[in-house]
Amino acid sequence: MSDVRLIDIREEILSDNQELAGKIRRDLGRHGVFMLNLMSSPGAGKTSLILRTLSTLRDRVRIGVIEGDIASSVDAEKVSREGVPAVQLRTGGFCHLDAPMIERALKELDLTDLDCIIIENVGNLVCPAEFDTGSQRRAMILSVPEGDDKPLKYPLMFSVCDALVVNKVDYLGTSDFDLERLRERVCKLNPDIRIFPVSCKTGEGIAEWTGWLAEQVAGARPPA
């Protein structure tokens, strides 16, 4: 006869992933490199925003890209054509990127030669919200055709991000998407989030977005 007993654990469920993510953040910090985890549904405009960001900031910020798109290596090719270092991750149908995958990808980038790394996460508003990749900041894109009710359907994603890019505002006139209603919904979940309405097509709002990103990058640099 043995007695049933309780053992207290009190640990985060994803503690292994979180520990590694913390280690990645410290390594990046030592190199003065800033990393952004960019998330959205498929087709919201992650690749388009990265390309816009590269062409706007390239002269001031040395950027590398980690591509997590499952479909193909098309995105990494698009980015490489811009002449910046890009790593394509083979996610094998995985629904999100986690810290071990990012650790592997970082081995292929020369951190001494970079100021900023942008992760294009897998197109999905659910799973990537749960996994810390080791980035210092998280941003998501919501595109106008997806509708302003998305915070109600994907509350976790909206609550973990530091910035929300509302892309495809060139469609605003032809839809019932209400930017103010979106703002209200998002701010209830996450009062500190920064919201950037942009169009990767026309370039509207891109300067505000890249301004914020450049500030974050500068914040990661060690004092000279």
Ligand X SMILES: Nc1nc2c(ncn2[C@@H]2O[C@H](COP(=O)(O)OP(=O)(O)O)[C@@H](O)[C@H]2O)c(=O)[nH]1
- Binding positions for ligand X, rule: CB under 6 A: 40, 42-48, 123, 167-168, 170-171, 199-201
Sequential DSSP letters for 39-58? EESTTSSHHHHHHHHHHHHT
What is d(CA 194, CA 205) in angstroms, rounded to the nearest whole number?
Answer: 13
| Residues in contact with other proteins by the rule CB under 8 A | 2-17, 95-96, 98, 126-127, 130-131, 149, 151-152, 155-156, 159-160, 181, 184-185, 188-191
Do residues 220 and 28 make contact, with C-beta atoms less than 8 angstroms apart? yes
Task: Report what 112 binds from Mg ion, other proteins, ligand X, none; CB cut-off 5-8 Å by kind.
Answer: none
| Residues in contact with Mg ion by the rule CB under 5 A | 46-47, 69, 75
What is d(CA 185, CA 161) in angstroms, rounded to the nearest whole number?
Answer: 14
Q: Which is nearer to other proteins, 7 or 71 (CB)?
A: 7
Closest approach, Cβ 149 to other proteins, in A, equals: 8
What is d(CA 28, CA 12) in angstroms, rounded to the nearest whole number?
Answer: 23
Q: Which is nearer to Mg ion, 33 or 50 (CB)?
A: 50
Closest approach, Cβ 198 to ligand X, in A, equals: 7
Q: Which is nearer to Mg ion, 17 or 53 (CB)?
A: 53
Q: Which is nearer to ligand X, 46 or 96 (CB)?
A: 46
Maximum Cα–Cα distance for the chain, whole Å? 74
Pairing label, strands 34-40, 116-120: parallel
Do residues 163 and 212 make contact, with C-beta atoms less than 8 angstroms apart? yes
Closest approach, Cβ 141 to other proteins, in A, equals: 20
Task: Report what 48 binds from ligand X, Mg ion, other proteins, none; CB cut-off 5-8 Å by kind.
Answer: ligand X
Task: Report what 181 binds from other proteins, ligand X, Mg ion, none; CB cut-off 5-8 Å by kind.
Answer: other proteins
Q: Which is nearer to Mg ion, 65 or 161 (CB)?
A: 65
Task: Report what 201 binds from other proteins, Mg ion, ligand X, none; CB cut-off 5-8 Å by kind.
Answer: ligand X
Closest approach, Cβ 49 to Mg ion, in A, equals: 9
Among 144, 214, 216, residue whose Cα is nearest residue 174:
144
Sequential DSSP letters for 96-129? S--HHHHHHHHTTS-GGG-SEEEEE--S-SSGGG
What is d(CA 149, CA 134) in angstroms, rounded to the nearest whole number?
Answer: 29
Task: Report what 96 binds from other proteins, ligand X, Mg ion, none; CB cut-off 5-8 Å by kind.
Answer: other proteins
Q: Which is nearer to Mg ion, 123 or 197 (CB)?
A: 123
Orientation angle between helical segments 206-220 and 46-57, nearest 10 degrees: 70
Structure tokens given for 125: 């508003």
